[in-house]
Structure 1
Amino acid sequence: MKKRIAIIGSGFSALASASYLAKEGHQVTIYEKNDTVGGRARQYKKDGFTFDIGPTWYWMPDVFERFFNDFDKKPSDYYTLEKLSPAYKVVFSETESILIEDTLTKIYAAFEAEEKGSSKQLEKFITKAKSNYDIAIKDLVYRPGVSPLELITPETIKKIGAFFSTISKDVRKQFNNEKLIQILEFPVLFLGAKPSNTPAFYSFMNYADFGLGTWHPKGGMYQVVLGMKTLAESLGVNINTNANVEEILVQNNSATGLVVNGDTITADIVLSGADYHHTETLLPLKLRQYSETYWSKKTFAPSALLFYIGFDTPIINVEHHTLFFDVDFEEHSKAIYDDPQWPENPLFYASFPSKTDSSVAPKGKEAGIFLIPLAPGIEDTEAIRETYFKKIMTRFENLTNQTVQKNVIFKETYCLNNFIEDYNSYKGNAYGLANTLFQTAFLRPKLKSKTVKNLYFTGQLSVPGPGVPPSLISGKLVAGLIQKHNKN
């Protein structure tokens, strides 16, 4: 039986679920509070510069291919991909940096040059990581987190130890060089937790990094959003922007529609791709599954302070993606996870998409995005933002041997208050709920409400977790659950 389905939000998971549900013949309508689609993956344009406001890394191309293949399409029908070479650069000091190239052979050589014998260790490590990737991405993450039995397969039983060791322990058993350890621990940051709290099984992120490479969609990550929007609309999905959802209507403990900009919208099924915590505040208190205490005890992935900068000259000694690991990673991570506060000396990341893509900056100029990972829930003021801009730009100039602050045409900032205002983000988090051992699969907030019939959730606070590829998968999983329950 075909249903009227109202979807809150238009991020990756919402757009994905909308397409799957429309393909099954349902009448699907999206309600997005902002003026453009994409959720956290929006775009900012100014003076001929184009910036991705949200995600800037395109990893796991196979997940995107699998998504579009489900509709007899492929990514190239909507956007053009380029594999980055090098994938990224890691800067440790004014004189020390390591390039992560675009093939395993080159990466093995880079490790060997840094620490004799490490290439053989890396080869073994990546072989195991690939095995984990095959199990996780081809099977486990496409399960809806309904039951712990989903995790029990002949393959996972063989890997049981990898769920109870950690990435940090595994890496440090095999490598001694601190720089190489930091590079191997870096991909875990996409999962939103410290390497010391992340199961070793998640080394599959290292295979995603080294084995599958880093890609760039021409025009930026927003081209992926536009491709998904085009696909959804071609399947009959209606998309409404500037449509703020103020209430989820419930009758006899069953979702019956939404209040949008003061108007009542009726629906047979409500699906939220918005912030999970916020979505539950749209319900009467007695119908919320998770209390404020529940959320306050969860480990959230970081928030971020971001700067979008137009430079009047090309920036030298950097790559498209450049990581600055010149300070103590452990100290910074304590300020995120253990004792939430502004870090004294933060690690930071910079992206210069105009190094690869001439369409995102005027000729002879450079588009730069700088990001500092932060604890959610800390104070956010313009004065603090400016202090940290000066901190990282001074370091950036020293580390890359150039002066750039005089070349800033403009800069825009984005931080916790913006995440709350634009996305109703819990404590201003940027990446959702971290993937720790006790926040994995069936231990994450459920895709289907336990208290309200015909109410579902999708996205980075639910199954399978944070990141763009998991969001695509989350959309598929919740659409499958809706179809299953609709048939019964």
Structure 2
Amino acid sequence: MIVSKTIAIIGSGFSSLAAACYLAQSGHKVTVYEKNTSIGGRARQLKRDGFTFDMGPSWYWMPDVFDRFFADFGKKTTDYYELIKLSPAYRVYFGINQFISIADNLPEIVATFESIEKGSGAVLEQFMAEARSNYEIAIKDLVYRPGVSPLELITLETAKKVGQFFSNISRDVRKKFKNEKLIQILEFPVLFLGAKPSDTPSFYSFMNYADFGLGTWHPKTGMFDVVRGMESLATELGVQFVTNAAIEKISVENKIAKGIVVNGKTIYSDVVLSGADYHHTETLLEKQYRVYSEKYWDSRVFAPSSLLFYVGFNKKIENISHHALFFDTDFNQHAKDIYDTSKWPVEPLFYANFPSVTDPTAAPEGMESAFFLIPLAPGIEDTEALREEYFHKIMDRFELLTQQEVRKNIIFKQSFCKNDFVQDYNSYKGNAYGMANTLLQTAFLRPKLKSKKVNNLFFTGQLTVPGPGVPPALISGKLVSELINKQFSKA
């Protein structure tokens, strides 16, 4: 039996929403406090002049993880939102009107590979069989462990794959494929984990199965549909939400969390759970209660920050797909600029998203909504002048590669970069995706879900286990709720 407690949750991103649902289901009294005017954390929505944008996550991968989340409450995803499978899943541009379309099924993708590099189709099938095996081990088992002990990683299945933890994605892919375009397509999915392919263990090829095997989906009117769905479920379970609630301090007495100070007012609770930035959350504590030092945070490998542009066009854009990757410049050099030298990339790769291709409500009739994203080093200098310079850099290439002029059709554009990540999300160094999943930052080697210095203080989200991404955030919320319930259960 679980003893009911009052729980204050800081932040309303995916991990906080998931934790709120699980904890309320267990009988706790749960209130979520969000500093911004709307919930969703980085997955907020921007509406302007008839255009609608997801401000953060835009890829719906691993649908089984979302299904598993809602099933835990006797629900289905379809009870809350509708999914569309994208076909093609995405395009990757390498030159003027030169692109590779990734189909919505593996047989067609195999045929595409074979048409580009003879013999690569059969090799891809073998690679994907291994990736699927890794996915089943990771998603059905490993990622649902709380990162408490290294023994969590040791199972009969992982013992057979131990070598994959000491090799890397880049090395493996390059052994199997020779065509640089195919290599880049296979290296792309692990960028969601926040590190270079050469620093990402081979076992994470399960991301390739998430890509080619499970496909790319889109909630009917955007990723915010998922936020709305989770909010609706949470409300059904009795969760309360408070917005415009900036947390100024976590109250601690006798090494026990006693509540939070919100807008100058102390709110008492039995448990404090933070889904906000982990580093920032510890600054809300007096120094003696912080587990991780500034030196520790500075030594971590963080996922990139991003320069984003939300753009409204007064016409339909040609030669594009819902998701488009622009890999017409040096992939490895851009990665070095992010991870090794921490400077603005000279010729950045970039990503473009056109939700109105799939969702007519994303833009007024006959118009197009788009956002463009450039991955950047965290902690980088961020000025309006640099933002503008880089907008024109990528638009020069976009217009060239898709053979059309579009800048004169821009009704508005709004940028979002490192300074905004710090301002809006208290994000450490303005990172966009959390802490990278490198070998030395995996599972039990990540910051802990439970504070070692303050009782009844817990953490969830992308800086703890399992790591970056929306599906891992849902899992993180489940893991921390289980730890909390374990602490407050009695025979």
- TM-score interval (norm. to shorter): over 0.9
Name which of 115, 118, 121 aligns with 1:119. Answer: 121
Distance in 2 between the 1:422 and 1:218 partners? 27
For normalisation by structure 2, the TM-score amounts to 0.99
Question: In the alignment, which residue of structure 2 is the partner of 1:452?
Answer: 454
Distance in 1 between the 2:64 and 2:269 partners? 34
1:48-87 matched pairs, under 5 angstroms: 48-87=50-89
Distance in 2 between the 1:101 and 1:443 partners? 37
Distance in 2 between the 1:121 and 1:173 partners? 11
1:73-222 matched pairs, under 5 angstroms: 73-222=75-224
SS at match of 2:43: coil
Question: In the alignment, which residue of structure 2 is the partner of 1:273?
Answer: 275
Name which of 407, 412, 415 aligns with 1:413. Answer: 415
Distance in 2 between the 1:110 and 1:305 partners? 32
CA displacement at 1:127 relative to structure 2:
0.2
Question: In the alignment, which residue of structure 1 is the partner of 2:400?
Answer: 398
Instruction: Show CA shifts across 1:34-93 (max 9, x none).
Output: 010000000000111000000000000000000000000111111110000000000000
CA displacement at 1:404 relative to structure 2:
0.3
Distance in 2 between the 1:255 and 1:336 partners? 38
Distance in 2 between the 1:112 and 1:307 partners? 36
Question: In the alignment, which residue of structure 2 is the partner of 1:243?
Answer: 245
Distance in 1 between the 2:47 and 2:114 partners? 42
CA displacement at 1:486 relative to structure 2:
1.2
CA displacement at 1:3 relative to structure 2:
0.4
Aligned-pair Cα RMSD in Å: 0.5
CA displacement at 1:95 relative to structure 2:
3.9
Distance in 2 between the 1:53 and 1:256 partners? 34
Question: In the alignment, which residue of structure 1 is the partner of 2:46?
Answer: 44
Farther off after superposition, 414-423 or 88-97: 88-97
Question: In the alignment, which residue of structure 1 is the partner of 2:342?
Answer: 340
Instruction: Show CA shifts across 1:461-482 (max 9, x none).
Output: 0000000000000000000000
Distance in 2 between the 1:108 and 1:51 partners? 33
CA displacement at 1:96 relative to structure 2:
2.1
CA displacement at 1:208 relative to structure 2:
0.1
Distance in 2 between the 1:286 and 1:292 partners? 13
Name which of 473, 476, 479 aligns with 2:478. Answer: 476
Distance in 1 between the 2:47 and 2:361 partners? 12
Distance in 2 between the 1:45 and 1:451 partners? 42
Is the CA contact (8 Å cut-off) linking 2:433 and 2:468 kept in structure 1?
Answer: yes
Question: In the alignment, which residue of structure 2 is the partner of 1:319?
Answer: 321
1:421-436 matched pairs, under 5 angstroms: 421-436=423-438
SS at match of 2:308: strand
Distance in 1 between the 2:298 and 2:244 partners? 30
Aligned AA (1:411): K
Is the CA contact (8 Å cut-off) linking 2:97 and 2:403 kept in structure 1?
Answer: no
Instruction: Show CA shifts across 1:268-295 (max 9, x none).
Output: 0000000000000000011100000000
Aligned AA (1:272): S
The question of 1:372 aligning with 2:374 is answered yes
SS at match of 2:95: coil
- List alignment gaps of at least 5 residues for structure 1: none
- List alignment gaps of at least 5 residues for structure 2: none
CA displacement at 1:485 relative to structure 2:
1.2
Instruction: Show CA shifts across 1:83-110 (max 9, x none).
Output: 0000000000014210000000110011
Is the CA contact (8 Å cut-off) linking 2:301 and 2:435 kept in structure 1?
Answer: yes
Query: In percent, how many aligned pairs have the same letter?
Result: 69
1:351-362 matched pairs, under 5 angstroms: 351-362=353-364
Is the CA contact (8 Å cut-off) linking 2:60 and 2:217 kept in structure 1?
Answer: yes
Q: Which runs of 4+ in 1 moved over 3 A?
A: none
Aligned AA (2:426): N
Distance in 2 between the 1:338 and 1:233 partners? 45
Is the CA contact (8 Å cut-off) linking 2:97 and 2:402 kept in structure 1?
Answer: no
Distance in 1 between the 2:97 and 2:9 partners? 51
Question: In the alignment, which residue of structure 2 is the partner of 1:234?
Answer: 236
Distance in 2 between the 1:350 and 1:56 partners? 10
Is the CA contact (8 Å cut-off) linking 2:43 and 2:227 kept in structure 1?
Answer: yes
SS at match of 1:313: coil
SS at match of 1:389: helix
